[in-house]
Amino acid sequence: MAALPPPPSPRRLWARLNPLHWLRRSFGYSRAEARGTVGLLLLMLVFIVAPLLLRPELPSYLPAEDQKALNEMTAQLKAHRTLETGFASRYPKREFKKFERSGARYPVVAQVRLAPFDPNTLTAEGWEARGVPHFVAARIVKYGEAAGGFKAKAQLKKMYGLEDSVYQRLAPFMQLPDEAPKREYASNRPGPDGKFPPFASASGEAALGKFPRKPRNLQPFDLNRADTTQLMQIRGIGSGRAKWVVKYRNQLGGYLREDQLDEVFVLRDAPDLRDSLKKYTFVAPGFAPQGVNVNTATFDEMYLHPYIGKPKARLIVAYRQQHGPFRSLEDLKKVPVLKPEDVEKMRPYLRFE
């Protein structure tokens, strides 16, 4: 019977099981490469096992405690709303009578008996008093100001929103012609003397004096004292644009600089007309504009100023009601949301009395 081979020694058995020897024998790694591979594998194992061992314990859900906390928060919110009921009253509200018209609330305007009237002199309230809806009345006035006045009834008939039945009822009382007179232009051919013929009216008579030529050598004039007739002497400025220049001047309280003409609505897209106005107008030295008294002016009076508007006027009035009258411009700068550049822009037009 053959003898069994002797068991391997512990040293030889460890050499067979040692991963370093196995890597070196299987892949031909050097001793350093084998150690680096084993270390990398151990590090990867640590990163895989560590999150499982260090995971925090999941919180237990307690419905009763959560419902109790929710009830407490609801009670605090109700109490807070009860204490802050006077918050909305800090802002002024315009008083209107409850009057439903097309789903909106407008002030009631007393109706008047129809009589002959000039559409160019009526305000929005005057149109409403004659049965025109509120939004259409404001649109008519705005269109008339932009167009320099209505010339014929046909212009009003085309107003968007004005029902035909309302127009037919008002048309007999409008002191305007049914249609605007057609423009007749001079012939584009010169006469025997080489000059072009003058503009002729429908009756055949020359109408040279009807549309006088604008002066070529116009002397500069004061922008804050000029009326529409004087402004219309500048080439390119008609009655409509002249009225807008005067209207914006009245809203401001007076021009302080010629570059404020850039803010006029009808001149924003007409740089050549703005340059002409700046060339022939000036602001007198030492001119003091009409200011707005921030301590006595109401919301309706204050928001009409172009540099203030409704949002700023609402904030100024609310802050004045809470903290008392303003003593200087520094007090006005304390109003939240008002930017320093806005305050500086308004400064020449404000009074603290």
60-79 pLDDT per residue, tens? 667 787 788 888 888 888 88
Looking at the domain assignment, is residue 26 inside a domain? Answer: no
Q: Is residue 228 part of a domain?
A: yes
Range 215-222, long-range pairs (CB < 8 A, 24+ positions)? 218/280, 219/280, 220/279, 220/280, 220/281, 220/282, 221/280, 221/281, 221/282, 222/281, 222/282, 222/283, 222/284
The 10s digit of each residue's pLDDT in 163-177 is 888 889 998 898 888
Which residue, of 133, 158, 173, is where some domain finishes? 173
Please tell me the distance from the alpha carbon of residue 88 to that of residue 85, in angstroms, as a whole number. Answer: 7
- Virtual torsion, Cα 277, 281, 283, 289, nearest 10 deg: -60
Q: What angle do CA 187, 188, 194 make, to 5 degrees?
A: 95
For 275, residues 6+ apart whose C-beta sits below 8 A from its C-beta are: none
The b-or-e profile of 212-246 (16+ CB within 10 A means b, else e) is eeeeeeeeeeebbebebebbbbbeebeebbbbbbb
**Count of domains observed in the chain:** 3
Asked whether residue 332 is assigned to any structural domain, the reply reads yes
In the chain the first and final C-alpha atoms are separated, in Å, by 130
Residues 169 and 139 in one domain: yes
Examine residue 328 and state whether it is found in any structural domain, yes or no.
Answer: yes
- For range 267-290, the mean pLDDT: 86
Question: CATH number of the domain that 307 lies in?
Answer: 1.10.150.280
Same domain as 273, residue 310? no
Q: In sequence order, what are the residues at sequence separation of 6 or more whose Cβ sits closer than 8 angstroms to the Cβ of residue 128?
A: 109, 134, 137
Query: Do 237 and 277 form a contact (C-beta atoms < 8 A)?
Result: yes
299 and 276 share a domain? no
Percentage of the chain beyond pLDDT 70 is 76
- Pair 317, 262 in one domain: no
Same domain, 299 and 253: no
Q: Both tokens of residue 144?
A: 């008339």
Last residue of a domain, one of 252, 282, 312: 282
pLDDT: which is higher, 58 or 308? 308
Residue 138 placed within a domain: yes
Which 8-state DSSP code applies to residue 1? Answer: -
What was the pLDDT predicted at 200? 46
Q: Could you tell me if 240 and 272 lie in one domain?
A: yes
CATH value at residue 239: 1.10.150
Q: Which domain holds residue 124?
A: 107-173
Q: Does residue 119 carry a pLDDT above 80?
A: yes
* Residues 55/59/60/61 CA torsion (nearest 10 deg): -130
Under DSSP, is residue 39 helix (H, G, I), strand (E, B) or coil?
A: helix
> Does one domain contain both 278 and 314?
no
Given a cut of 50, whether residue 41 has pLDDT beyond it is yes
Structure confidence at residue 53 (pLDDT): 81
Instruction: Evaluate if pTM is beyond 0.85.
Output: no
pLDDT tens figures, 140-194: 998 888 888 888 888 888 888 888 888 899 988 988 888 877 665 545 555 566 5
> Is 17 among the domain residues?
no
In a domain, 8, yes or no: no
pLDDT at 331: 85
Q: Coil, strand, or helix at residue 51?
A: helix
* Residue 96 counted as domain residue: no
Residue for token pair 């806005």:
342
Among 263, 282, 301, the domain-final residue is: 282
